[in-house]
Amino acid sequence: MSLAKISSVSGRAVAVPGNDIDTDRIIPARFMKCVTFDGLGEFLFYDVRKNADGSDRSHPLNDPRFKGATILLSGANFGCGSSREHAPQAIQKYGFKAIVAENFAEIFFGNCTTLGMPCLSAKREDIAILSAAVEANPGIEVTLDLVKQEIRFGGQRISATLRDSARDALVNGRWDAIGELLEGRNAVAVRARTLPYLAA
Amino acid sequence: MAQSLFQKVWNAHAVRTLANGQTQLLIGTHLIHEVTSPQAFGMLRDLGLKVAMPHRTFATVDHIVPTDQFAEPYRDPLAQAMMDELRRNCAQFGITFFDRSTGRQGIVHIVGPEQGITQPGTTIACGDSHTSTHGAFGAIAFGIGTSQVRDVLATQTMALAPLKVRRIEVNGRLRPGVYAKDVILHIIRVLGVNGGTGYAYEYAGNIFDGFSMEERMTVCNMSIEGGARVGYVNPDETTFAYLKGRPYSPKGEAWDKAVALWKSYASDPGCAYDDVFRIDAADIAPTVTWGINPGQGISINESIPDPRNAGAPDEKASIEEALAYMKLKPGAPIKGTRIDVAFLGSCTNGRLSDFREVARFVKGRKVAAGVKAIAVPGSQIVALQCEKEGIDKVLSEAGFEWRAAGCSMCLAMNPDKLIGDQICASSSNRNFKGRQGSITGRTILMSPLMVAAAAVTGQVADAREVFSLNN
Ligand code: SF4
């Protein structure tokens, strides 16, 4: 399986501010009643984006100035809560290619990486600077550089971090582990034989 | 060198190091349910792959099952479609499925232990964040995403970096009316909802030594609410006694060998931890949440926080957001807050001991007028045991609806839901906005006995007073 080498992501950005944005907020559980991930994008942030009658509420994703944004900006502990991959899938299917936040919940971070969607951490002040620039000029091109671990926009640059294992996986096109895991088949069988509960 | 259980189990299951530095880790036991597995089976089909070790994957159905309807088709066609899909996938790939017709169906984190599938020294994965529950047995149990469910199905392994280990010791004596649920709510309150990021939590101290398996499961269950993906208790005689004679437990000679091996996995005395945190059991009170994440908890006799007293601006904003959603008054006592719904159940507190404890105290009492109270056993086996002991009768006579096994009102994927801005006293594990099925619905997390106290008084109450427990 050959996967894209993701060393940078460029595009327009949109800020969905707030800390502890949990996976129930990202994709409410009732939309998880599905047997494929197709079509999940339209339910992204549904309960904060829509009124009960389905009409739009005021939300950055409903703001026409930010239509077509591919980089999502947010606060601390983004993606906390459930392990549901429906959350990163909804973000990706909506059209996002990367997320920048202060930090991320563990399982969510891993899920995003496996989908080839980088999650970069930046300092709160720096995200505020970036968000302000995007607010002032929604068309501004934002570039996330995974190799240099920095974000560039309109002549400015801020630093952003990505843990080594995830950066390596994305940059070298190994973000989906399945190919490499399959190659280890024989070693797996050998290991399994050493464990009584698996040898039986 | 002295090692922790986490290190020993990790090393025993490490297959090799991958190019990105992660470990290819063998997953001995894989548990699946209807919500996060169909897409993984779809990916498997797309890639033309088979299930590597079908006998090491076990399925049940829990999130979408209606608790008031057994006959199919279900009223909700989407729920029925998910049920059908799981059946089809299990049949096609040769996976054991504890369907409702087997009498062994239930919430995945209750079924594994009940069947003796959850064992010490093993690695367990499930596409569900509360997989940490299984750590109560001294297993390393991970909640995983759907792509990883696919990885485990296809290879019985996944790619992972090791975690750091924080030992959390709780010593001393718990006061009457303080339960395992209060212990974990207290831990999360103190260490924060993301305090555990990057860590496995090892729970220890005389409180955990004395806990039953069910109490240990309640605590390990909510590790994830504290940000820790994995939580565990070292296996001991209590663990072995629980497992003996269960359907999937080793038998005869194999049992003795297994116990010897299991003992060897326990953390060595004097092993190094990345962090140690100590709590005095006497500091823990019956705890309830007032906000929209499980770390926003206070003891029953405290007042609801006032944003004006907040330290950081951040904290102020999060208190304001929570209070606006919860429609609670800053500075007011939490005790006396009117409730509309009382929910007993979930993988945190839907076990026999939880219902026994509630039944013992609500016998002869009545649910307050205007309160909808439901009691939902975590598994069909829990249901049957409760029915044998007459617990269902006691609860029904008190005014609880006695339901069939499932996740029920823990989350909004089946017909059990809050309506409008109802407030629910809940024995579940999450109080996120909209979690219980209404986008304005409100959740107050607490122990089962506190739910019972709320049910009979119609308000958030101190179970110690309501049921005259000696303080
Ligand atoms: S009871 Fe709640 S937390 Fe547990 S598995 Fe079901 S939905 Fe998840």
Evaluate whether B170 touches B466 at the Cβ level (below 8 Å).
no
Task: Please provide the distance, in angstroms rounded to a whole number, between the alpha carbons at the two ends of chain B.
Answer: 45
Task: Give the B window 78-107 contacts with A, CB below 8 Å.
Answer: 78-79, 81-82, 85
Q: Give me chain A's average pLDDT, please.
A: 94
Q: And the tokens for A117?
A: 């969607």
Query: Is residue B471's pLDDT more than 70?
Result: no
The answer to whether residue A32 is domain-embedded is yes
Q: How far is B26 from chain A (nearest CA, A)?
A: 7
Answer yes or no: do A35 and B39 touch at CB < 8 A: yes
Query: Is residue B21's pLDDT more than 90?
Result: no
Q: Label each residue of A75-118 as H, E or C.
A: CCCECECCCCCHHHHHHHHHCCCEEEECCECHHHHHHHHHCCCC
**Cβ–Cβ contacts within 10 Å for residue B297, how many?**
24
Query: Is residue B107's pLDDT more than 60?
Result: yes
A178 touches chain B (CB under 8 A): yes
Q: And the tokens for B300?
A: 């029953």
The answer to whether residue A54 is domain-embedded is yes
Q: Which of A22, A33, A178 sits opposite B78 (nearest CB)?
A: A33
Question: pLDDT tier at B470 (50, 70, 90 boundaries)?
Answer: confident
Q: Give me chain B's average pLDDT, please.
A: 96
Give me the pLDDT at residue B154, please: 97
**Cβ–Cβ contacts within 10 Å for residue B205, how many?**
18
Domain harbouring A144, CATH code: 3.20.19.10
Per residue in B394-445, pLDDT (tens digit) is 999 999 999 999 999 999 799 999 999 999 999 999 999 999 999 999 999 9
- Strand-pairing partners, residue B230, are B200
Number of domains in chain A: 1
C-alpha A43/C-alpha B92 separation (Å) is 31
Question: pLDDT tier at B155 (50, 70, 90 boundaries)?
Answer: very high
The interface predicted TM-score of the complex, written ipTM, equals 0.91
Backbone phi and psi for residue A127, each to the nearest 5 degrees, phi listed first: -65, -35
Query: Which residues of B are less than 8 Å from A82 in CB distance?
Result: 128-129, 430
Number of A:B CB contacts under 8 A?
198
> Which residue do the tokens 């106290």 mark?
B453
Evaluate whether B136 touches B203 at the Cβ level (below 8 Å).
no
Q: How far is the CA of A146 from the centre of ligand 1 (A)?
A: 36
Alpha-carbon distances of B17 from A43, B162, B465, rounded to whole Å? 38, 11, 56
Radius of gyration of chain A (CA): 19
- Structural domains in chain B, CATH included, are 5-275 (3.30.499.10), 287-466 (3.30.499.10)
Query: Is residue B150's pLDDT more than 80?
Result: yes
Cβ-count burial B418-454 (b if 16+ within 10 Å, e if not): beeebbbbbbbbbbbbbbbbbbebbbbbbbbbbbbbb
Q: Is A185 helix (H, G, I), strand (E, B) or coil?
A: helix
Task: Give the A window 20-79 contacts with B, CB below 8 Å.
Answer: 20, 22, 24-25, 28-30, 32-37, 47, 52, 76-77
Model's pTM, two decimal places?
0.91
Per residue in A39-85, pLDDT (tens digit) is 899 999 999 999 988 899 999 999 999 999 999 999 999 999 877 88
Mutate to test the interface with B, among A3, A84, A106 (most CBs of B within 10 A): A106
Question: Longest Cα pair distance anywhere in chain B, in angstroms?
Answer: 64
Per residue in B23-41, pLDDT (tens digit) is 999 999 999 999 999 999 9
CA nearest ligand 1 atom 6, residue = B407
Q: Label each residue of chain B as H, E or C.
A: CCCCHHHHHHHHHEEEECCCCCEEEECCEEEECCCCCHHHHHHHHHHCCCCCCHHHEEEECCCCCCCCCCCCCCCCHHHHHHHHHHHHHHHHHCCEEECHHHCCCECHHHHHHHHCCCCCCCEEEECCHHHHHHHHHCCEEEECCHHHHHHHHHHCEEEECCCEEEEEEEECCCCCCCCHHHHHHHHHHHHCCCCCCCEEEEEECHHHHHCCHHHHHHHHHHHHHHCCCEEEECCCHHHHHHHCCCCCCCCHHHHHHHHHHHHHHCCCCCCCCCEEEEEEHHHCCCEEECCCCCCCEEECCCECCCHHHCCCHHHHHHHHHHHHHHCCCCCCECCCCECCEEEECHHHHCCHHHHHHHHHHHCCCCCCCCCEEEECCCEHHHHHHHHHCCHHHHHHHHCEEECCCCCHHHCCCCCCCCCCCCEEEECCCCCCCCCCCCCCCEEEECCHHHHHHHHHHCECCCHHHHCCCCC
Query: Which residues of A are less than 8 Å from B56 in CB distance?
Result: 198
The answer to whether residue A191 is domain-embedded is no
Mean pLDDT value of segment B243-247: 98
Alpha-carbon distances of B451 from A15, A109, B52, B86, B344, rounded to whole Å? 39, 34, 44, 33, 7
Radius of gyration of chain B (CA): 21
Q: Determine if ligand 1 sits within 6 Å of the CB of residue B107.
A: yes
C-alpha B220/C-alpha B201 separation (Å) is 8
Task: Give the B window 375-434 contacts with A, CB below 8 Å.
Answer: 411-413, 430, 432-434
Of B463, B467, B59, which Cα lies nearest the Cα of B285?
A: B463
Per residue in A115-126, pLDDT (tens digit) is 999 999 999 999
Query: Is residue B192's pLDDT more than 90?
Result: yes
- Strand-pairing partners, residue B106, are B379
Answer yes or no: do A83 and B36 touch at CB < 8 A: yes
C-alpha A41/C-alpha A45 separation (Å) is 9
Q: Is A159 helix (H, G, I), strand (E, B) or coil?
A: strand
Query: Which residues neighbour B210 within 8 Å (Cβ) at sequence distance 6 or greater?
Result: none
Question: pLDDT tier at B121 (50, 70, 90 boundaries)?
Answer: very high
Mean pLDDT value of segment B384-401: 98
Evaluate whether B91 touches B84 at the Cβ level (below 8 Å).
no
Mean pLDDT value of segment A152-170: 95
Of B182, B158, B118, which Cα lies nearest the Cα of B26?
A: B158
The answer to whether residue A80 is domain-embedded is yes
Give me the pLDDT at residue A200, please: 60
Range of A51's domain? Answer: 8-174
Q: Is A26 helix (H, G, I), strand (E, B) or coil?
A: helix
Evaluate whether A184 touches B14 at the Cβ level (below 8 Å).
no
Q: Which amino acid is at B391?
A: I
Q: What is the dihedral of CA A58, A60, A66, A71, to 10 degrees?
A: -160
- Strand-pairing partners, residue A161, are A121
Question: pLDDT tier at A191 (50, 70, 90 boundaries)?
Answer: very high
